[in-house]
Structure 1
Amino acid sequence: MAKVILGIIFALLSVHAKYPEWLQYGVKVIAEFDAPNKNVQQYNEGYGIIINDGLVLTSASVVYDGKRAKDITLYHTEALGEPIACLSHARILAIDDNLDLAVLEAERFTDIYCNVLPEPNFRELSFEKSYFNVLLLPLDLPLDERLEISYFKEHDWSQFLREKIAFKDFLELPQKDKEKLRGMPIFVGNEFLGLKIKESKTDSINSNSKDGVKPEILTHREILSFLCKIERETSVLKGKKNLNAFCNTPLDLQSVP
């Protein structure tokens, strides 16, 4: 009996190791653009993460290609271990092409086959209560080659599973493989490090780079700074209670050690 109990405990620990909590908040982003030839559809694919107030963070280059995408569809899993399925459409609330960051808002929720559901619906209600809390003090780890990072990856049967890799090896991935990861949330353990963004168009070195290495990661601190900037200077986040409260507390993200 003791062996059976131990076996169950080890199995649960194994599942927890395979499925960290942040994994359930990852989304796949498919953006459709108008193409010169209307008979040929033009798509971008990338990833993102569901955060506070029903928002989604992704790479701007996934949903903006000189013009905004005409339609954006989000895919995720209802429960860890289940196949990726259609979740909703989304619209762009804010975008910064220089940072390569876009803030999306989910709308027109669907069933798993992408059929739009009447409102209100259970998927929308569930979505509002399930998110990764990005409104935490940033980890601020240096983007050092010795880090071990984690992100989610599509495996067999289109599941999201955790991928663990040394940051050095991540930097050395072929460019075509890194392109597929645009908008991917990157973690160290269970701590949010930042988002994978596109390769810099200039020869300037990122301020977080070391020995001339461009990390191609927009850090947690940079993301929070952008969110609070648009919260204070625009009305696009009006009614987003968590962000409104966070950004209007006496906290200077630029000076927090």
Structure 2
Amino acid sequence: MVFASENEIPDKYPQKHFNLSPKQQKILQESMQQVDAEKQKEQKKSIIKGSTALENKQSRHQKAKQDTAQSMDVENPYVGLTEQTTEAQEKKAQISFKKQWIYGTAVITTTFLDGSIKRSYGVLLRDGMFVTSANMVYDKNVYARSSYAMMQDDSSLPFICVAKLSIKALDLQKGLAILETLNYTDMYCNERPKSFYHDRIYSSHWVDVFKHPTQSNPAVVYAPYITPLNSFATEKNILQENLKQVAQKESNDFEGYKYAYGKGFYTHDGKLLGIVGASNDNVPKLIRVKEISDFLCELKERKILKNPYLQEACAPSNVEELK
């Protein structure tokens, strides 16, 4: 088992910036929407690529959020959006956001100390942690320089950058990585204090991996996908085969990747079945939700995770009930 942290990177990997190749730039720029040209000229602080800008649309909660933001003296990411509800946006785009776990889904963009870049899905866990595939944050002894999570609030379509992440633990044999929130960010991935929209996402939309589904291979499963509107939506899969085989199918979720690493599969009632994981060999496999909860409990026993809720969730009686 390998455990790593951004705070413990060996000196042989100095912190410095690398010039990105055209191909790498193209991968990052996929995650960005067009920002108003005049605003780009005025923006002097460099925008971290891999983030995304909101379109000129306004959520139904704009006024309430503006008032909240002003009272907290913080930036409001929803200023300038037109009045349009997510229901109307859904109908127009013919896509569905009815599954609440959609808002616990993240796109994780990781840059490495050698200048390489990887993008994957991630699943938000309790206390601001994320689970994803190990091969997306660790690359043959090259450490991650930084990771950023982009998520979607349930009052507006486009997802935005919400947090900078660091590796808390990873296991190359299991193919799992646990990331923790290092700093909160604005929509452009610039660091900022925690605000109402961070608290809203983190407190309302985390996925409980200790609620195991009764069926390991249901007839219908659900998964996230990225729409042309730069948002997440629900994909319904009627299984003609084993869920493990579905997880190993090639996907075009991210350009340059054959498989949707980190993608979660859910039951109709929103329980996580598992995610697509892999180690350094990049061979995809289905990692069942029980393997994820067992990994968290193992990290608790090793005192790597000290989250209070794990004391109860990983109690012997509870673990026996989940088996």
1:153 partner SS:
strand
In structure 2, the partner of 1:31 is: 110
Greater mean alpha carbon deviation, residues 168-177 or residues 153-162: 168-177
Going from structure 1 to structure 2, the CA distance change for 1:86 and 1:215 (only over 3 Å counts) comes to closer
Q: Distance in 1 between matches of 2:150 and 2:322?
A: 35
Q: Distance in 2 between matches of 1:120 and 1:45?
A: 24
In structure 2, the partner of 1:191 is: 271
Structure number with higher strand proportion? 1
Deviation at 1:256, TM superposition (A): 4.1
1:89 partner SS:
strand
Deviation at 1:139, TM superposition (A): 1.4
Going from structure 1 to structure 2, the CA distance change for 1:247 and 1:16 (only over 3 Å counts) comes to farther
In structure 2, the partner of 1:219 is: 288
2:227 aligned partner, one-letter code: H
Going from structure 1 to structure 2, the CA distance change for 1:128 and 1:161 (only over 3 Å counts) comes to closer
Deviation at 1:226, TM superposition (A): 0.9
Greater mean alpha carbon deviation, residues 66-75 or residues 191-200: 191-200
- Alignment coverage as a number of residue pairs: 225
Q: 1:53 aligns with which of 127, 136, 141?
A: 127
Deviation at 1:45, TM superposition (A): 0.7
Segments of 5+ residues of structure 1 without an aligned counterpart are: 1-9, 36-40, 203-213
Asked whether the 8 Å contact 2:111–2:144 carries over to 1, the reply is yes
Q: Distance in 2 between matches of 1:150 and 1:120?
A: 31
Going from structure 1 to structure 2, the CA distance change for 1:80 and 1:63 (only over 3 Å counts) comes to farther
Going from structure 1 to structure 2, the CA distance change for 1:135 and 1:47 (only over 3 Å counts) comes to closer
Q: 2:161 aligns with which of 86, 90, 98?
A: 86
Q: 2:187 aligns with which of 71, 96, 112?
A: 112
Q: Does 1:228 align with 2:228?
A: no
Q: Distance in 2 between matches of 1:88 and 1:233?
A: 26
Q: 1:20 aligns with which of 83, 89, 99?
A: 99
Asked whether the 8 Å contact 2:113–2:143 carries over to 1, the reply is no
2:174 aligned partner, one-letter code: L
In structure 2, the partner of 1:237 is: 305
Q: Does 1:163 align with 2:235?
A: yes
Q: 2:314 aligns with which of 223, 240, 247?
A: 247
Deviation by residue 1:152-191 (Cα, 9 ceiling, x = unmatched): 1001111100011233477367535474410011112122
Matched ranges for 1:133-148 at <5 A: 133-143=207-217, 147-148=219-220
Q: Distance in 2 between matches of 1:78 and 1:87?
A: 10
Deviation by residue 1:192-251 (Cα, 9 ceiling, x = unmatched): 10111238959xxxxxxxxxxx982111111111110110122x212x122232113523
Segments of 5+ residues of structure 2 without an aligned counterpart are: 1-86
Q: Distance in 1 between matches of 2:266 and 2:239?
A: 11
1:83 partner SS:
coil
Going from structure 1 to structure 2, the CA distance change for 1:109 and 1:62 (only over 3 Å counts) comes to same
Q: Does 1:96 align with 2:177?
A: no
Deviation by residue 1:12-58 (Cα, 9 ceiling, x = unmatched): xx8996421111110001010122xxxxx411110011111211111
Aligned structure 1 segments of 4 or more residues deviating by more than 4 angstroms = 14-17, 199-202
In structure 1, the partner of 2:260 is: 181
Q: Distance in 2 between matches of 1:30 and 1:200?
A: 17
In structure 1, the partner of 2:196 is: 122
TM-score with structure 2 length normalisation? 0.61
1:94 aligned partner, one-letter code: A
Percent identity over the alignment? Answer: 21
Going from structure 1 to structure 2, the CA distance change for 1:216 and 1:200 (only over 3 Å counts) comes to farther
1:251 aligned partner, one-letter code: N
Asked whether the 8 Å contact 1:47–1:182 carries over to 2, the reply is yes
